[in-house]
Amino acid sequence: MDGLMRRVFTAIACGTVVLVAWDLFPLHAQTSVTTDGLTSIAGVLVGHHTLEGRPTGCTVVLTTAGAVATVDVRGAAPGTRETALLNPVNTVQKVHALVFSGGSAFGLATADGVMRYLGERQIGYQTRHANIPIVPAAILYDLAVGDPTIHPTWECGYKAAEVANHGPIQEGSIGAGAGATVGKLRGHERAMRGGIGTSMLELPNGIRVAALMAVNSIGNVVDPDTGQPVAGVRTEDGSSIADSSYILTAKALNTPTAENTTIGVVATNADLTKAELAIVARMAHDGLARAVRPAHTPSDGDTIFAIATGEIKSEISLLRIGALAADTTARAIIRGVLAATSLPGYPSARDLHGGVR
């Protein structure tokens, strides 16, 4: 093992890998915690809530003071809410939260809970009559894992907002990543566990760029430094990961249409406009494409938000921030998959790579 995967394995805290039954979930699902992630950006809070009935949940990113925001949607099967207002030409400049959820389109209801939470605290875009919380959201499809009638509701979003904090972020099989899977070019029977991960990099002048990504891709997850697969379509004997390029060119596909996506956010403490952030979000997708192969497909809804808190107002290089956005996006994807734990029928990367090293 080498490259980015080795570095991430070293960084993730050791934990016992357990194949869990549905009724035990999520007791064994919280596998990793990091302080070098999205909450390293001052003013950004993160909270997860995972349902008890099956592996699914939501993740809330709070920016209660407001953060300039935009979004870049590259997949052809997205599920989103309040993304049109993030266009740089539109009036509203800042958001007060972002929500990422499992449950497919049902999961968009989680944003209602976050709006309720913020509304109770008079946080939002000020109009003459009320403060309106601006809460864009994106979802992933995890209905194939467990009972599909169980999905996140407004209560999930409210509870995630209640526990959102500036502290270490749990990664892996939790929140929006609880039911995530990857490597479905041969269908779910050969897939592996996805997850949610985060990463942060800092420039010498104090500018920080961080990412939080929930990975539920149809494609394989690949170490961008070495090109070696981390998780994805398993071979017929289940002992290793099949080459996605070979599958795409040599055999008929069994692809779950519109049932996959990688969603997340990149954040910086730099002072950027919506137009500048649009470039950052665009560049962040380069990191997604490095770590997920194939990416941006007709079967994925790949969506990345970008937010800026405006703490640092000088010595800003948009090129460097965008480059770090791509790097942190790739790192967060790898971390999320390596931190995930197994479920019946869905082994984790830990199983194939011999555990955390």
- Structural domain boundaries, residue 311: 3-8+22-353
Strands of the chain (E only): list them.
Answer: 30-34, 45-50, 57-73, 80-81, 94-101, 125-126, 131-132, 137-139, 169-172, 181-182, 192-193, 195-202, 208-216, 220-222, 229-231, 261-270, 292-293, 303-312
| 290-341 residue pLDDT tens | 999 999 999 999 999 999 999 999 889 999 999 999 999 999 999 999 999 9
Q: For position 10, what pLDDT does the model report? A: 45
Q: Is residue 14 part of a domain?
A: no
| 194-231 residue pLDDT tens | 999 999 999 999 999 999 999 999 999 999 999 999 99
Q: Is residue 16 part of a domain?
A: no
| pTM of the model as a whole | 0.90
Q: How confident is the model at residue 355 (pLDDT cuts 50, 70, 90)?
A: very low
Neighbours of 239 (CB within 10 A): 8
CATH number of the domain to which 244 belongs: 3.60.70.12
Q: For position 178, what pLDDT does the model report? A: 98
d(C-alpha 184, C-alpha 123), whole Å: 41
Domain total in the chain: 1
**Given a cut of 60, is residue 356 above it in pLDDT?**
no
Q: Is residue 114 part of a domain?
A: yes
Q: How confident is the model at residue 97 (pLDDT cuts 50, 70, 90)?
A: very high
